[in-house]
Each structure stands twice: as structure tokens, then as C-alpha cells.
Chain A
Amino acid sequence: MDGANIRKALSMMDERGSGEGAGYVAYGAFPEFAECYAIHVFFDTVHETKPAVDQELAKWGTIIHEEEIPTYEQQNLRKIHTPWRYFFLPDPHLMPRSTTPEDDIVMHLVMKVNTTIPGALIYSSGKNIALFKASGWPEEVADFYRIQDYKGYLWLGHNRYPTNTPGWWGGAHPFNLLHWSVVHNGEITSYGTNRRYIESYGYRCSMFTDTEVVAYLFDLLVRRHQLSPEIAVKALAPPFWDDIDRMPEKVARLNTAIRLTYGPALMNGPFAIVVARPDAIVGFTDRIKLRPLVTGTSGSKLYISSEEAAIRIMEPGVGDITMPRAGEPIIGRVVA
């Protein structure tokens, strides 16, 4: 799929934004560099800060290719950063004790650059993943990057109504860390708890927004703790104790264990979230569904959106629009 369709879908929901942030992510966008980590950086000024980032990357591996991300001037969109992408191969021998050395090197680089190099922000770092975001309306951002020129098998898009960090490109969704990308509608009232929890596992929150903890939590639970996405969602939006008390013993034991172990990962507050990784996509809402989420399928395609209208404009023939219950994960798997 190219990006033209999702641009149309988001433009149906301009009502939900304020023209101060939008973004898209495409999985499978760089087949020619599929094995490289596509590290996307916003530079405030290329000549001042890029050497520091180059140097940091060179310490940990090889830059196979790099380029300024092509952009096309839009009337209302002020280009305050220069978006850049590196195709990077980390050297696994440099992190000998890790079982996933490449991922850990790239994660380290993201945390290091974002917390120690002012004027540079790594906003995406996964293999074969292209991320496009800026401050503007969704159509403008799409045209700014010409996302119709990119093809992917899995797309996420987001239209932002910022209240906290308006106009800041880094604050637009989707958020990405390694293979994970997240779009989020809502506000996480447990952010302080979630952030302190995730930081004690070595993650550093640097985006000034609650959404990034979702990416980190999925990375921790699914990649590092090897839990399935279903179990991860049970940890983030668990059933209530009253419901657990009524479950059959074995299921109750599982849910109790999840809540005890991952209590600080529980996300509170209103949200609808879609998380993607190369082989799957997961959509879910908070435990009492304070934000909308609808899904639809057409053939082998799965659509997840805040509004039915956005799905219908992409797929007029969609047959089975459904509204998942609170906390119930909607999982799509990539079939090769």
C-alpha cells in the first residue's frame, strides 16, 4: 500500500486535530536496506550537531547509507528541523553480554543521543521502517514528505491536538523505538508511575509526552520479557479485580500474577492506542473505554481507527465494522 490512502483517511478526521502535529509510519518502506536500522534524526542545524551524531554512530557500527529525507515545501508548514535518515548496521561484538546486541546497541544510541546531544533527536530507529512527522495538518505533512511515494505493508497515521508541546515536531505521533511504533489518542494519568517503572529498566523518557512510555513498555514486555502481545495488553489494560475474582481459578491465577508483577505498567486514563511491530499490529483502549476505537476488515486487510468514516473512505466495501470492548486487544498478524 502506498501512503495516499491513509492520507485520505486522516483528512476525514481533521476535526480531531489542530494543525499542529501529524505523522505516519510505514513498515517495509526500505526493501533495499531491509537489514539496516533506519535511524531517523531531526537536526536543528545539520552542520552543528550532525558530526556528534555521526561520531556516536561510528562508535557502535557502520553507516551503510545516509541521506537528508526529501521534503517538499508546503505553504503553511515551517521547516524548523532537517529530517535525516541513516541506514545503520550495529556491530554485535560491541555488546557481548547481550542476547539481542544489535537492538540493545540501537536502543542505547537512541537514549544517548536524545539525552546528551542537544539539537539532535532520534525519532525512529527500526529496520525497514519509515517515519514521517512534522507540525501541521495531516494532509500537509503527507505532502511535505510525499508519502504517496512510499510503499508499506503496514501503516499508522495520527492527527494531533497538542496541549502540552504544540508545534514541536518530536511531540507528533507516531512514536517509534526499534521495531515498535505507537499512535495514541488520550492522556495517561498514570504516566508518573509508568515512567518511573520503565526508567528503572534503563529506558530514558526524552520526548516530554506520555505516549513514548507505551513504546518502551511494549519493548520491555514483549521483546525483553518475551510475553505475547495478548499478555502485554492484559498487563497494560488489565481486567478489574472484581472480574478476576469471578474467573475460573487458572485464569484468575494468571491475571493475578500479571497484575502483581506488572502493576506499575498498568496504564490509567483515557486512551485508544495502536501499537505496531513488523509482524503484527495491536489496538486497544483503556479499561473503561474512555476513547473510541473501531475496526474493520476487508480480505486480508485490517483497519483500526478512531472513526468509522476513516475506514470507509479507505475501503468503501468494508463489511464488518466492530467496536471492541474496553481493554480487549485487536490483533492483526502479518501473513507473508
Chain B
Amino acid sequence: MELHGIGVRFGGLVALDDVSLDVPIGKVLGIIGPNGAGKTTLFNVICGLVQPTSGRLTHDGRVLRPQPHSLTRHGISRTLQGVGLFKGLTVVENVMAGATCQARPGFFSALFALPASERDEGRLNGLALDLLDELGVGDYANAYPHTLPYAVGKRVALARALAAQPRLLLLDEPAGGLGEEDIGELAALIAGLPKRQEGCTVLLVEHHMDLVMRVCDRVAVLDFGRLIATGTPAQIRENPAVADAYLGAAA
């Protein structure tokens, strides 16, 4: 996935200004920046929830005009800020909904409950249960989202995103609202994602600096919609422009 000169304007407000970024395959790329820097807007552009006013996206060497509902078919999957689960679906159904792009049977097969439809539902159900087990929340499979502890809800949301078997996973503030202990587990989980299936790339928007520095292979810094630095976590830590962005320019 490459971004070429992406710009987004909301009326007079410049949310993103000429952002070009390569997302390295099989790595974890962190996007950081102060509030309102355009991090979530960048995600929304990649997901097709926001149309860029300039620039273009390429994916697998081809120009990508993203539409949210077809992202998973392109191997791109995303979690939302907060939890964003379907409250009327059980945990396992939530994860199965994430695997929609893999569901095969057509409407008539479902209408008459043909064996093909039945088998496929069983397959998705198994896949969802495996994922929940892998993320350590298998015990909650039949619970409804409103009964879950917050950290478990976040895990389930991650399982739902993984159910699409993405090659590019976008995580929007996965540590938001979690305690220190949960963040430690989350860090191990995120760092393990690229090894999980062949070449799964992770793009991470996060405020929690410890987490970013611990799991990211590379970090990109946004400030007022502009990309002000990219580099390894160590380089970013030493970069004076980044400190300026966060703390205000030294007088």
C-alpha cells in the first residue's frame, strides 16, 4: 500500500496535506501525532470513508479506489475507535460477520437452507471460534457485547477484523481505554500479527507512546495534516521536530 500526495480538505480546513507514505509489507507501521493531526482521517481515506481531494492510493501496484464494503476483498481490514461491535449479535456472530467476504452461498441457498449454506455457516463458525480462542476470549463466544468487559470487547473487535484474513490491518487506537496490563498483552499480540499469516502488514494509529515504540518497525508522525517525520522508533524519539509537534516549539 502506497499513498501518493494525499490531501483532504473539509471546507477551509486542511485535514491532510500532500501526505506520501509507503506501508512496508509484513511490518508494523505506527502513525502518531497530536490530536487533530489527521491520523484518523488518513485511515478514513484508506477505507474509502473519506474521499481525498487530491492524490491517489496504490495497493499491490494497482491504483485503489477504496469502497468500505469491498475493502476486505482487497485484503484490507480495520478496527474502529472504541469497540464498535454489533450489539444485537453474539460475540461469535460478530466475528462471523467480519468474515463476510469469505462467505460463499447465495441467497437461494440460504432461503431454502440448503446443505451448502449450512456447511459454509459451520465453516465460518469454526473459523470465528478458532480466532476467539487464539485471542484468548473464546469463553465469551455466546455472550452479547454489552455484557463484555471493555478489554474483551476490544479483543473481539480485533478478532472481527482478523476474520477477513487481511493482508493489511488498520488498527485505530487499539489501546484506547485499556489498563497497563492489557496494553502489555496487546503489544505482544500486535507484534505477533505479521508472523501470524504470511506478510500481514499492520498500520497502527495510537496515542500510547510506549506501545508504539515497543511494537512498531517504523513510525510516521503527522502534525496539522502534514507528514513531518518517518523513521524507526529510535530515530523518531531523537527527532527534534517531533518533540516540537508534541510539546510546542522550544522558545
A and B are interacting partners: no
